[in-house]
Chains A and B, each alone.
Chain A
Amino acid sequence: MISTIFRRALYSLPIALAVSLFCFLLVHIAPGDPINAILPPDAPADVIAQVKESYGLDKPLPVQFGIWLFHILQGDLGRSLATGRDIWPDLHSALANTLVLALASAAIGFPLGTLFGSVAGAFRGTWIDRLAVGIAVAGVSVPHYWLGMVMVVIFSVILNWLPSMGASPDGSGAWALDWEHLSHLVLPAITLSVIPMGIVTRTLRGIVGDILNQDFITTLRGKGLKRGGLMLHVVKNAAPQALAVMGLQLGYLMGGSILVETVFAWPGTGLLLNNAIFQRDIPVLQSTILVLSMFFVGLNLAVDLAQALLDPRMRR
């Protein structure tokens, strides 16, 4: 098992390196010279050269990558072009907010999806199954920014029950665990939970249905196991695949909430990315994408290890 952990962690290294290379190249893939984001197009040539030198843009690409990576590894993400501030403090609070939102959505979507999916898988072909599939299809099909707006209209505008914007009453990004703050979380979390709920439902329906059709289920019934004993086997067999899907979905929740965060003005990485894109603030873009990608890589590693722990056939 220890060698498995070591090997999987080792596999993640080249992935992480490739991801950071991609993030670094983002500046150069984007149309136009990165210098255009800093200087007006009619800047004199000597100013351009001077700025290029001060940003290290005159050096060859591999050297630039090396320097960039060196700084990143020391925790120095650089400065925002738009505000001139250090990126890390802003990114840090945005990450915390996004993580809170993602975890809240997962806490709503995963259990519901697991429940609907398992029940549908166990009762395939019945009306329960069709109902669950209907919910799942609706969940993945409804555009979530639209759902967000509808929820705002219903619960904020008409009923006036819940706040529609921001993460806290005072408008700061700071987060605390009380109702004032939690109430801000409710609408975006529900909105964001709908897609993972649908996907988890659909996946678990398939997994549980397949497992119940396996020969060993007949063996277990033949041993006289009761429903509870049988369920233990189904859960342990379904868990590795279910975890894989949930890990992926959590990753998407972390990175894929740009639209919902914009609708609810949630001060997370989505909003940060959105602003950075419109301001051509490439260092912020780079750092945010890099950190989110690393989170994704880490999450996948964690899922891999959990799978190996649950399924002996994966410990190779």
Chain B
Amino acid sequence: MSALVRVRDLTVKFVSRDRTVHAVNGVDFDLNQGEVLCILGESGSGKSVTLRALMRLNPPARTVMTGTLQVGGYDIIAASEREIETIRGRSVAMVFQEPMTALDPVFTIGEQITETVIRHEGVSKAVAHKRALELLDLVQIPSAERRLAAYPHELSGGLRQRAMIAIALSCRPKLLLADEPTTALDATVQIQILLLLRRLQQELGMGVIFVTHDLGVAGEIADRISVMYAGRFVEEGSVRDVMRTARHPYTQGLLGATVHEGMRGKRLTTITGSPPNLASLPAGCAFAPRCPSADAACLEAVPNLDGAFGSHRARCIHQHAEVLA
């Protein structure tokens, strides 16, 4: 069976009159049906852009994409606008970060679910309404009938995000993209939404790509983690490998800056400096200016994702030394 998602050397540039921003600079990955990949990174690392590229949702006038991008057998980069429109919402669906602004304020939840179902399946309003009820049950929204008639501002943040998930699932997509779906929520609600997403993913057997800056969230939901920095994956591997034996200094920095198990008695550290300007990237390792173990060799060329440790790979020329040390 071929992979659900196949990405090779994907680059995404935003071109405007006075500058070009290199948001994604060569990303490769595969995702199989039923697998959960978490893309981890800070703001501006290109993780959301990568996610949106999978549905070609970046602003069409300014975006230039190159590379190979296949989702469920479709060539996303070459597809016509009409083809893309039929793929969106049916084969691939997305859950956004901020459910308050991502839902249309003047349409009811019900209208926003049924329009998707009607759009892709051409069914009657009554059938779509019945589907909408089932979907609200699926995402565990109580008194579904009443909630379908509600407007987004009448629901709590958690319910809104559940409704958002219901919309995304309305046509049973094979691939679900989640763009920091828990970031805007209260901590207690975050856990509920994460558990819900994981249960739905297992029940429906979807592939999920989950973008977050939260290591805890990543560990909770993912099978694999890819750490993104300056538009490249700098480390990838199973959750266990990446969390326990991070090889890239950036990943180590992220782990050191986060409260997690095994941190008792240790001080939290910070990564000094700030992310590079994506309009003018350095020639070598993009993390070198902030890296504690950088030397002259780091600045020469962008390191490859080193496959010496099997599927756990990192884009750092010093990783072997550090493992020894």
Task: Give the B-binding residues of A (Cβ under 8 A).
Answer: 214-216, 218-226, 229, 233, 236-237, 310-313
Contact B106 A222 (CB under 8 A): no
Tell me the bound Cα distance from A64 to B101 in angstroms.
Answer: 55
Q: Which residues of B contact A214 (CB under 8 A)?
A: 101
Tell me whether B247 is interfacial, beta carbon within 8 Å: no
What is the CB-to-nearest-CB distance from A223 to chain B, in angstroms, rounded to a whole number?
4
Tell me whether B285 is interfacial, beta carbon within 8 Å: no
Contact code string B199-243 (vs A, CB < 8 Å = 1, else 0) = 000000000000000000000000000000000000000000000
* Contacts A214-B101, A229-B119; A221 near B96 (Cβ below 8 A): no
| A-contacting residues, B72-121, CB 8 Å | 85-90, 93-94, 96, 98, 101-107, 115-116, 119-120
A222 CB contact (under 8 Å) in B88, B98, B104, B153:
B88
Tell me the bound Cα distance from A313 to B151 in angstroms.
Answer: 9
Chain B CB within 10 A, most for which of A220, A224, A236: A224
Tell me whether B55 is interfacial, beta carbon within 8 Å: yes
Tell me whether B138 is interfacial, beta carbon within 8 Å: no
Q: Which residues of B contact A215 (CB under 8 A)?
A: 96, 98, 101-102
* Contacts A233-B107, A310-B106, A312-B153; A223 near B119 (Cβ below 8 A): yes
Tell me the bound Cα distance from A223 to B86 in angstroms.
Answer: 9
How many inter-chain residue pairs (CB < 8 Å) link A and B?
74
* Contacts A218-B96, A233-B107, A312-B151; A223 near B102 (Cβ below 8 A): no
Beyond A220-B104, A224-B90, A225-B115, 7 additional contacts (C-beta under 8 Å) are A216-B104, A219-B164, A222-B55, A222-B88, A224-B87, A311-B105, A312-B154
Q: Which residues of A contact B90 (CB under 8 A)?
A: 224
Contact A225 B102 (CB under 8 A): no
Tell me the bound Cα distance from A233 to B55 in angstroms.
Answer: 21
Tell me the bound Cα distance from A220 to B88 in angstroms.
Answer: 10
Contact A233 B104 (CB under 8 A): yes
Q: Which residues of B contact A236 (CB under 8 A)?
A: 106-107
Q: Which residues of A contact B88 (CB under 8 A)?
A: 221-224
Contact B94 A222 (CB under 8 A): yes
Tell me the bound Cα distance from A174 to B177 in angstroms.
Answer: 67
B120 CB contact (under 8 Å) in A224, A237, A310, A311:
A224
Q: Which residues of B contact A222 (CB under 8 A)?
A: 55, 57, 88-89, 93-94, 96
A224 CB contact (under 8 Å) in B96, B105, B119, B153:
B119
* Contacts A223-B116, A224-B89, A312-B153; A237 near B105 (Cβ below 8 A): yes
* Contacts A215-B102, A236-B107; A225 near B119 (Cβ below 8 A): yes
Contact A313 B105 (CB under 8 A): yes
Tell me whether B167 is interfacial, beta carbon within 8 Å: yes
Contact A223 B93 (CB under 8 A): yes
B103 CB contact (under 8 Å) in A216, A225, A229, A312:
A216
What is the CB-to-nearest-CB distance from A244 to chain B, in angstroms, rounded to a whole number?
15
Chain B CB within 10 A, most for which of A233, A310, A311: A233
Tell me the bound Cα distance from A311 to B154 in angstroms.
Answer: 13
* Contacts A218-B96, A313-B153; A224 near B102 (Cβ below 8 A): no
What is the CB-to-nearest-CB distance from A309 to chain B, in angstroms, rounded to a whole number?
11
What is the CB-to-nearest-CB distance from A1 to chain B, in angstroms, rounded to a whole number?
14
Contact A221 B107 (CB under 8 A): no
Q: Which residues of B contact A312 (CB under 8 A)?
A: 105-106, 151, 153-154
Contact A216 B94 (CB under 8 A): no
Tell me the bound Cα distance from A118 to B96 in angstroms.
Answer: 27
Q: Which residues of A contact B85 (CB under 8 A)?
A: 224-226
Q: Which residues of B contact A311 (CB under 8 A)?
A: 105-106
Q: Which residues of A contact B167 (CB under 8 A)?
A: 219, 223
What is the CB-to-nearest-CB distance from A208 to chain B, in angstroms, rounded to a whole number?
15
Contact A229 B101 (CB under 8 A): no
Chain B CB within 10 A, most for which of A219, A220, A233: A219
